[in-house]
Structure 1
């Protein structure tokens, strides 16, 4: 399946662009500290400079190089996306497998919990948590990761309920295997492709959520920057320096598009296999 997936990527310019862009973005974020610029270094004599050879993305109101700020902002957004994805995927898959496999009162209890958490507006949740937690990278990962797993849990629960009635699971129960071993060894590998699709969608959703919250001033705080916080800071300078909003906006757009594009391709391959 992996070979066929890679062949599909190479056969389409759009998929190849999505793959190449994500690889380029990840490498750029990893090697950002090697650039000879600091994202927080100010130069008052170089403020509001337009994009040029010396400053590829121009400079901001404090004379900071905007290219390196966008790169470091992408680094933070990717960290949030991957970290929140790992948290939400782990919690969602755990709840979904346990709920779908055991059923009964435990299933009802966990699904009611899912419904309650799903009904809480994001903005209210962030405001409440900001009272107890200091706004920043850790807080935004906790908020997104620990309160965005509900959709994954429903999906994994449905898949688990279908798989637990198959012969190999029933045979494992018949010979007396532990339920934890059955869930890990037999059910989890069979829902892994679906879980991968859900995880990739979780990354793009986490990046979008972080960008939205930082844009509203409830996410990443200065001096650290993310694409959302850069968009928020650019509001006051749209007429003087429109590039300050356009550039991080393009990066957000292309990142979400590329992730969703490759996720849909994987999903289509998965459906063919089934």
Structure 2
């Protein structure tokens, strides 16, 4: 109850936080109810190609007459799904590696950090191109690529926080009385690094959405007829003169979604820090 009141107070204290919460709430709800909207995102209508926004088609139509509003909504479903699943994957791997390296140190820390350095040195675009040779471009591939190769920054952050947390008196006391390392890590060290982890996770969602948009824009991500915000931007390249809204609308959704997730991470961090 106290935490709920603190979160509500923090949301209302800043118009930036208020906007971010309202925007993401509406976006998530719209994505969830999208299948209930009686419009087929892949239905073409050659008599209404490239129509501007109107009451009939709120976001207009694309180059083959598909309703652009429902395309953007379904694109948001895919982009959010990629962001959340990639974030979960990257956070789990990064947290495990960071906690292990930071707490145990020594040769294990050295090996894990060298692996992180090697993976971080590989340009993600080169990595995706190589993987696309072995994996078919699509939703599953994009989640594997982004989630499986974006955890290194989280691992570094968690390792640094763990190095500081394990020197605290209550952690030293836990070791002194014979508590197991696993018990100390999850009962004392992990709560200490949680605020940083939450911010890193929210940034990871934003990064995953942006990366998916970039890859789909380059034709290496989501493939037609499935839509994502990135693939919509890629498809809009040939229609910028006659239908600029096809690029502006999904672009604004990408910008506001990334902005909102970053603000939500900062907000939760402030709430947790007040409780410490």
TM-score range, shorter chain: over 0.9
Match of 1:34 in 2: 36
Q: Distance in 2 between matches of 1:11 and 1:171?
A: 39
Following superposition, the deviation at residue 45 of structure 1 comes to 1.7
Match of 1:162 in 2: 164
Q: Distance in 2 between matches of 1:134 and 1:173?
A: 49
Ranges in structure 2 where 5+ consecutive residues have no aligned partner: none
Per the alignment, in what secondary structure is the counterpart of residue 31 of structure 1?
Answer: helix
**Cα deviation 1:157-183 (Å, max 9, x = unaligned):** 011111112222222222322222222
Equivalent residues in 2 for 1:127-206, closer than 5 Å: 127-206=129-208
Aligned counterpart for 2:93 among listed residues 91, 94, 103? 91
Equivalent residues in 2 for 1:246-265, closer than 5 Å: 246-265=248-267
Ranges in structure 1 where 5+ consecutive residues have no aligned partner: none
**Cα deviation 1:188-233 (Å, max 9, x = unaligned):** 1221121111111111111111111111111111111100000000
**Cα deviation 1:135-175 (Å, max 9, x = unaligned):** 00111111110111111101100111111122222222223
Q: Give the superposed CA RMSD.
A: 1.4
Per the alignment, in what secondary structure is the counterpart of residue 253 of structure 2?
Answer: helix
Q: Given that residues 89 and 147 in structure 2 are in contact (C-alpha distance below 8 angstroms), is that contact kept between their aligned partners in structure 1?
A: yes
Q: Distance in 2 between matches of 1:236 and 1:200?
A: 33
Match of 1:117 in 2: 119
Q: Given that residues 76 and 228 in structure 2 are in contact (C-alpha distance below 8 angstroms), is that contact kept between their aligned partners in structure 1?
A: yes
**Cα deviation 1:106-132 (Å, max 9, x = unaligned):** 000000111111110011000011011
**Structure 1 stretches (4+) deviating beyond 6 angstroms?**
none
Q: Distance in 2 between matches of 1:174 and 1:268?
A: 32
Q: Which segment is superposed worse, 173-182 or 230-239?
A: 173-182
Q: Distance in 2 between matches of 1:247 and 1:198?
A: 27
Q: Distance in 1 between matches of 2:141 and 2:103?
A: 32
**Cα deviation 1:216-258 (Å, max 9, x = unaligned):** 1111111111000000000001001111001001111111111
Q: Distance in 2 between matches of 1:129 and 1:182?
A: 39
Match of 1:233 in 2: 235
The alpha-carbon distance between structure 1 residues 42 and 17, as it changes in their structure 2 partners (threshold 3 A), is same
Following superposition, the deviation at residue 34 of structure 1 comes to 0.5
Matched positions, count:
274
**Cα deviation 1:64-117 (Å, max 9, x = unaligned):** 110000000000000000000000000000000000011000000000111111
Aligned counterpart for 2:128 among listed residues 126, 129, 141? 126
TM-score (norm. length: structure 1) = 0.96
Q: Which segment is superposed worse, 85-94 or 34-43?
A: 34-43
